[in-house]
Amino acid sequence: MELLSSEEALRRLLEEVSVEIGSEVVNTINSVGRYSYRDYVSTVDVPPFNRSAVDGFAAAFVDIVGASEGSPVLLKVIGSVDVDSVEVPTIHRSEAVKVSTGAPIPRGADVVIPIEYCKVVGDRVYVYRSYPRYANISFKGEDLRVGDVIVRRGTKLRPWHVAALKASGYEEVEVFRRVRVSVISTGSELVKGVLPNYTLPLVVSYVSELGGEVTLADVVQDRVEDIATAVEKALQLSDVVIVTGGTSVGDRDLSPRALESLGRGKRVFHGVRVRPGRTCGAYIIDGKPVLLVSGLPVAAYVSLELFFRPLLFKLYSSRPEPRPIVRGKLTRRLPNEPGFRSFYRAIACVEGDEVVIVPLRLTGSGILSTLVRGNAIVEVPENSEGYEEGTEVVATLVNPLVECSSVKPLIGLP
């Protein structure tokens, strides 16, 4: 088994992938979390007119120069304007118009004094504070102008994108249809129920959380023909196929042989210098990527992070979103075999004003509890022999930071 660096393996995989994901049209209000299929530009100016940013009184700047608590300026109130007002008066010198937040600015006004600095007496208003010209005025097109790009192709739509699209009059948007993924779990012991299947639900949930659509989730016997038949079916239903288990080169590791038995396609790589997840592989069959990942849950998770995640984002014409990171000091040594890129599960917690990184189990790619208990991953690069206790390292958060006091029974801190 030729072991590639994970970077080289990913480069080869992404270079080979040519699957085209189609589009569908959805209601804009329901599009959050989807990926835009095309660029969208603003069709209107936002705001559509000069408007007040506060409740107050619109006036001419020259009339309020020098206004203060001790020397207020007196203006005549000639009317009021609300957000939905059709008629907007024109003001002249020494006049003011009461305006609500979002209301059009009257002609002749170039400043709005917040209502808390004004006092109305009859049809007059006392202004107790001076403001610079254009204060508290939002100008037409200040937020978005006609032709401004709201979202680009491949953008993951967030609530603010949805708001901007709606403001521009887009009631529907064209998004990538969800990438269809089949997950095939191999192992006669799983079919017979001798052992629980941890990895299949982990992979299915991971795919769904990232925005993929699982079209098939199946468990098959450790037989070349059974695995091959399942892959054939999956290729008809999906854009991507993930096979878990049987990925090494032992007598019962049949997944690579099953793919080779199909007699078509191309092996992109099989074997990477990564721990856990060394036996990960990838094929292109019928133009579609088929990933081989370990049947052990932690190794499978690492492989999904390194290969499936960037693959999915590429299919959406997007880029992987960066994971949050923290820096903290190790509570124990992290060893590494030079030449391998190693990933350790850990708990990142806050003790006082410091972050502490507590490695969990150093070995055991099938230990699901380390994923459940941990909230961070620490990577040791290929060219390193490891990190000593007390070293400040970077940890990638997969769940939020916690207080060390809340996890002391788990991590053995005094």
Residue that the structure tokens 């990477």 belong to: 272
Summarised one tens digit per residue, pLDDT across range 38-72 is: 999 999 998 999 999 999 999 999 999 999 999 99
* Three-class secondary structure of residue 376 per DSSP: strand
3-state SS string for 335-357: ECCCCCEEEEEEEEEEECCEEEE
The answer, yes or no, to whether residue 195 has pLDDT greater than 70, is no
The DSSP element (H or E) to which 256 belongs, if any, is: helix 255-261
pTM: 0.85
Of 211, 207, 277, nearest in space to 242 by CA: 207
The answer to whether residues 165 and 46 touch, using CB atoms and an 8 Å cutoff, is no
Average pLDDT score over residue span 192-220:
86
Distance CA 190, CA 210 (A): 26
Mode of pairing for the β-strands spanning 137-138 and 149-151: unpaired
CA distance 60 to 57: 10
pLDDT score recorded for residue 194: 53
Contacts 24+ apart (CB under 8 A), 199-206: 199/244, 199/245, 199/294, 199/295, 199/296, 199/297, 199/300, 200/244, 202/297, 202/300, 202/301, 202/368, 203/242, 203/244, 203/293, 203/300, 203/304, 206/301, 206/304, 206/308
Higher-confidence position of 409 and 110: 110
pLDDT tens-digit readout, 127-149? 999 999 999 999 999 988 999 99
Q: Tens of pLDDT along 271-327?
A: 999 999 999 999 999 999 999 999 888 899 999 999 999 999 999 999 988 899 999
The model's confidence at residue 366, banded by pLDDT at 50, 70 and 90, is: very low
pLDDT value at residue 360: 86
Structural domains of the chain, ranges and CATH numbers in brackets: 6-22+180-315 (3.40.980.10), 23-46+142-176 (3.90.105.10), 51-138 (2.170.190.11), 325-411 (2.40.340.10)
pLDDT at 365 over 70: no
Q: β-strands 124-127, 73-81: how paired?
A: antiparallel
d(CA 15, CA 27) in angstroms, rounded, equals 34
Q: Across all residues in the chain, what is the average pLDDT?
A: 91
Pairing of strands 266-270, 73-81: unpaired
Dist. CA 361–CA 280, nearest whole Å: 21
Confidence grade of residue 362 (pLDDT, cut at 50, 70, 90): low
Residue 76, helix vs strand vs coil: strand
